Structure 1
């Protein structure tokens, strides 16, 4: 999305803040589209580039720990609340430590999360406001966790490549698509192919990771490492705020359409669906353990603790 792209573009806040805070000692040379997001981790870890934005959800088969956002209902139903929950989670010291340990195994250091909103909305030619509405619905899904969740909910997940799902909806091969609201509206133009979108719990978050080559980071003086950490945290706040703005713009635009419906599950139905999909937490834990990563239980505990701390905040103590 444009707002997020501006943050990382040449002359954008991240480049500028690092330069100013370090008195010119950190100067980023931003190269657009040097590697596909799915290949950035390998490129950074092996030193082909110093820093980059890794599409960690694309790596879920190898690193399922980073696919925790595909656990149904792990974030709140309200999209704006969910984004700030994500931010609180990624800024949590325990989560950061776990991410840093796992990224270091690949030769990289985790700097901050590029939160890009949800990826679990139900764009459909049929209205979905209850759990029962999902029964038998043919929906395009990508990741394993999403496909299994849909199947558990009674829907029929269909694997279709990103370049083909629009034609699949138009021709009736599928009834709809599971993807994010900003992506579905702005990039995929799903509102021209479907009649409604329902905020869904299937992959309530999609986040890329800004990472740096571990050897390069470790070679920096301590003060520059600290500046990188501090500016990265500030930028994470900017990204989350921009993401909230995008969600609001999309919701407003879709609500304004006379021939399209922006929907939510009826009262009690979201909780009913999330409860039905509770076993997917154990599926995720099993996948993490099978990958050889020991941090699954600790990660879940840290996620829940970070959310609880976020919601415990009082503006007028």
Structure 2
């Protein structure tokens, strides 16, 4: 009997130790701005699993698709209020809180490749600026990612800036609409969920939507058969951020794991999306009804010159927006990218 009792006690202690060893020290409920079926979200799920593995189970990330808890435009406030613990999202969604978020979130026409934006963020002062911008909201900016230079969906041939004149196009509010309006287009407010229907019914002729592979898989190119690829306008900043309170409670080694894991995430997303885009372009080229338009360097430069005038106008909307404008343009000039 005594031996049996000792064995039971031993098993109970072992069970407690086992449970303790596998219990996460820090649980993070993080909402993405991507739907669960997107490649972006799948890559983010792999990132969450890696963080758990790298931290030996001490960090447990519950990654939720867009709209699971709050709207995609409300995650910044939701983190501050403790409704969620973090987000992976397009920074530009918060331009309503400060135009600076719209400017750094998508400085239309500034970046021609994902490496340029990530170099600015990681080595050109972007990360430090985002840390400063998020501080008043009780949010810790962990790191930067992006997707890819977005394609452009169009029902009519677009070979340059002149073809934008009078074009009814869907574009998000803020700087994107402002730049296209300056180029002579007629921007239309339309949620992303209504782009396909809007194109089908002739409400719009074209759309600033997302990367080529996503457009292709969604059937956009089948109804808007004149896509522009590579894109010439949009490269959104995607930020990974968490509650400052949660961050401050973490030991330094876990903070380092999270920080470095985001750099790994950014490489994964940009690389896999580029591969997916290449496959989608090859597939689209097999369809005789689809004509892919690739703007010349001359036309891309024309569009950028228009965009540059609007950067400056947009920067006048807030002191923080002016900081973003000065920071980004300085980086572009110093690296011969302007």
TM-score of Structure 1 vs Structure 2, range by shorter chain? 0.7 to 0.9
Query: If the length of structure 2 is used for normalisation, what is the TM-score?
Result: 0.78
Residue 70 of structure 2 corresponds to 35
What are the equivalent positions in structure 2 for 1:43-58 lying under 5 Å apart? 43-58=78-93
What are the equivalent positions in structure 2 for 1:150-165 lying under 5 Å apart? 150-165=180-195
The 8 Å contact of residues 226 and 293 in structure 2, kept in 1 or not, is answered as yes
Unmatched 5+ stretches in structure 2: 1-36
Q: Please identify, of 62-71 and 252-261, the stretch whose mean Cα deviation from structure 2 is larger.
A: 62-71
Residue 15 of structure 2 corresponds to none
| Offset from partner CA, 1:148-187 (integer Å, 9 cap, x none) | 2122112222223334333332232322222223443233
Query: If the length of structure 1 is used for normalisation, what is the TM-score?
Result: 0.82
Question: Offset of 1:279 from its aligned partner?
Answer: 0.4
Are positions 1:222 and 2:252 aligned together?
A: yes
Find the aligned partners of 1:134 and 1:248 in 2 and give their Cα distance: 26
Relative distance call for 1:233 and 1:166 in structure 2 (3 A) is closer
Question: Offset of 1:305 from its aligned partner?
Answer: 6.7
Question: Offset of 1:196 from its aligned partner?
Answer: 0.5
| Offset from partner CA, 1:55-75 (integer Å, 9 cap, x none) | 422212223223235333201
| Offset from partner CA, 1:234-267 (integer Å, 9 cap, x none) | 2222222222223223322222221101111235
Unmatched 5+ stretches in structure 1: 77-81, 312-317
Residue 43 of structure 2 corresponds to 7
Residue 314 of structure 1 corresponds to none
Are positions 1:129 and 2:162 aligned together?
A: no
Are positions 1:98 and 2:129 aligned together?
A: yes
Among 38, 42, 51, the alignment partner of 1:18 is 51
Among 317, 323, 328, the alignment partner of 1:287 is 317
Q: Please identify, of 99-108 and 110-119, the stretch whose mean Cα deviation from structure 2 is larger.
A: 110-119
Question: Offset of 1:283 from its aligned partner?
Answer: 2.0
Relative distance call for 1:256 and 1:288 in structure 2 (3 A) is farther
Relative distance call for 1:252 and 1:218 in structure 2 (3 A) is same
Q: Could you say what the CA RMSD is over the residues aligned between the two structures, in angstroms?
A: 2.6
Find the aligned partners of 2:48 and 2:201 in 1 and give their Cα distance: 45
Find the aligned partners of 1:172 and 1:29 in 2 and give their Cα distance: 40
Residue 79 of structure 1 corresponds to none
- 4+ long deviations beyond 4 Å: none
Find the aligned partners of 1:283 and 1:247 in 2 and give their Cα distance: 33
Among 141, 166, 170, the alignment partner of 2:200 is 170
Question: Offset of 1:303 from its aligned partner?
Answer: 4.3
Among 66, 90, 110, the alignment partner of 2:141 is 110
Aligned length: 296
The 8 Å contact of residues 86 and 243 in structure 2, kept in 1 or not, is answered as yes
